[in-house]
Structure 1
């Protein structure tokens, strides 16, 4: 490990490419799993969420800590649609880790790749716990960064998946998306939203959350849904009545009520996903075969911090990143 590891007068910087190069799917999956278990045990805390509209976009702060592990930090992130006109990603995120004993910043990390991978890893854990193990067909709404990452992780953890049908916001084919997965599954556009959902064992919604994507009646018994796009007040992907038809899990109850699908049906009976993982039970344990299951994913700070800590440790061990003087 480099000499910088215990030198509080320096700050480690990891840019986009450096952070992405250090991310490994299996390690991200393990870190995200740990974050859910920390949340369930109470050792990990998600602090109150900041999520505010701006003239040019949406800005948010997710922060938290794990006192027994000396972990403290935050992610400042949001969505600026105007970035696309400059050829840049509309989603922007930056993660900062701090020494909880002194408040000193330890590491500054570009958070875009971290956000993508930790969200898709959380989705993969949702599939492992709640989707039918014999699932063969997947439908995804959205073929952008998040949609692609979720399909990639789904194919990794559920090797029985054979067919992927996708739907885009404008109804057009996405040749790049098809090319990415052509060697791993039968991938093609869905014939229509309801038809694609009705023909799927798994549904992933990874859109900008402008409104309901399909009719609840299209979801057949035994289907699992990972819902990703509702992450701000006013956004939704599920139609009215959908939550009432399903057994629902959330990553964090308070956050799901504030910005997730649960904001539209706050009376819904739900469970937190970390408690399910803590049970260590087989997939769909205690869930009826014909039950529809939903994982309402808003993304929690502990996911970002667990992955960021892993990146910092790996960067220090490999000499990756830039160390800058940060005097007391």
Structure 2
């Protein structure tokens, strides 16, 4: 991480700072590089902490990683809080440390970073796994992530038709309106089946705990991009889809613990899952990509190395974020009562 700041300086970078210096194209390049680094074991993601709060309605999590080749060390913390008005929704912050000394370097607002890197990873999966003759895109879910995913998908495939569906019809209509400046028509489907059954690529972006895509709707050769399942208990696809698909992930460990694969991985019914590897494994030639008309699934749980790469890029490009200097501590550390550092 090369940001040319003195060790005592800490950058505080907000959403406007992120928006000023990174683009979807930047995110695509960063995700490709991160996937390759992870496949070569040069970047390592640590175990995720993700817990429900206040019963079942709120989620808080921490993801952390270390990328040796880039000298990036840090974490992202945040979650979902369904509060009324401006107080609710998804919020996260990314914390970057000096990889040599663990000194704090930056705190970066994580919402736009998450949106950009999630959409870019989904688009990379489409680039690597969707059929070359892909033309119709279906998007299931019309929340905050949906628009970015459609625009990123169009960077890698010339879709001629986009179908959107949401359980909340006005949200689907609003998404279609925001996408009205695309070069292809965007239509609102009356039922998820109507979108999935004609699609070459299906992106799911819901917080559902029950399947929203049925096996009978999915055609041979379809590529499914599952981005909604990132917490224990979530599920967007009927299990039998996964049991007959070639599956790729960002993290096999996270896929079977908090991702779309979690329910099928625990099931004693049907064949075992065919998790072939990660997108990085495809990029470095370790595993194959699509074979003919098989169904492919990308289970994107989101990993910390992706967030840190994007936040580090923001820091390197020196936006106008506030710089603060923390109070000095003895030898730059806080001593614990046991003599170690805390």
CA–CA separation in structure 1 for the residues paired with 2:103 and 2:205: 36
**Once the 2 structures are TM-superposed, how far is the Cα of residue 219 of structure 1 from its aligned partner?**
0.4
CA–CA separation in structure 2 for the residues paired with 1:6 and 1:209: 43
1:268 alignment counterpart: 273
2:95 alignment counterpart: 96
CA–CA separation in structure 2 for the residues paired with 1:80 and 1:164: 30
**Once the 2 structures are TM-superposed, how far is the Cα of residue 173 of structure 1 from its aligned partner?**
6.1
CA–CA separation in structure 1 for the residues paired with 2:231 and 2:43: 23
CA–CA separation in structure 2 for the residues paired with 1:178 and 1:71: 38
Q: How does 1:196-207 map to 2 (within 5 A)?
A: 196-207=195-206
Say if 2:128 and 2:289, in contact at 8 Å, map to a contact too.
no
Q: How does 1:32-111 map to 2 (within 5 A)?
A: 32-55=31-54, 57-82=58-83, 85-88=84-87, 90-111=89-110
1:145 alignment counterpart: 144
Per-residue CA deviations over 1:188-234 (Å, capped at 9, x if unaligned) read 11132222211110100001123101210110011101000000000
Helix, strand or coil: the match of 2:107? Answer: strand
CA–CA separation in structure 1 for the residues paired with 2:235 and 2:294: 22
Moved more, 126-135 or 269-278: 269-278
Say if 1:135 and 1:161, in contact at 8 Å, map to a contact too.
yes
TM-score by length of 2: 0.88
1:7 alignment counterpart: 6
**Once the 2 structures are TM-superposed, how far is the Cα of residue 69 of structure 1 from its aligned partner?**
2.6
**Structure 1 residues 280 and 265: alpha-carbon distance in aligned structure 2, compared to 1, 3 A threshold:** closer
2:177 alignment counterpart: 179
**Structure 1 residues 88 and 278: alpha-carbon distance in aligned structure 2, compared to 1, 3 A threshold:** farther
Say if 1:34 and 1:306, in contact at 8 Å, map to a contact too.
no
CA–CA separation in structure 1 for the residues paired with 2:71 and 2:304: 15
**Once the 2 structures are TM-superposed, how far is the Cα of residue 76 of structure 1 from its aligned partner?**
0.3
**Once the 2 structures are TM-superposed, how far is the Cα of residue 166 of structure 1 from its aligned partner?**
0.8
Structure 2 runs not aligned, ≥5 long? 266-271, 329-342
1:300 aligns with 2:299: no
TM-score by length of 1: 0.92
Q: Which runs of 4+ in 1 moved over 3 A?
A: 171-175
**Structure 1 residues 11 and 173: alpha-carbon distance in aligned structure 2, compared to 1, 3 A threshold:** closer
Structure 1 runs not aligned, ≥5 long? none
**Once the 2 structures are TM-superposed, how far is the Cα of residue 88 of structure 1 from its aligned partner?**
4.5
1:310 aligns with 2:316: no
CA–CA separation in structure 1 for the residues paired with 2:169 and 2:6: 53
**Once the 2 structures are TM-superposed, how far is the Cα of residue 244 of structure 1 from its aligned partner?**
1.0
Moved more, 139-148 or 297-306: 139-148
CA–CA separation in structure 2 for the residues paired with 1:214 and 1:22: 37
Corresponding residue pairs, total: 317
Q: How does 1:239-254 map to 2 (within 5 A)?
A: 239-254=238-253
Greater share of helix: 1
1:287 alignment counterpart: 290
Alpha-carbon RMSD: 1.8
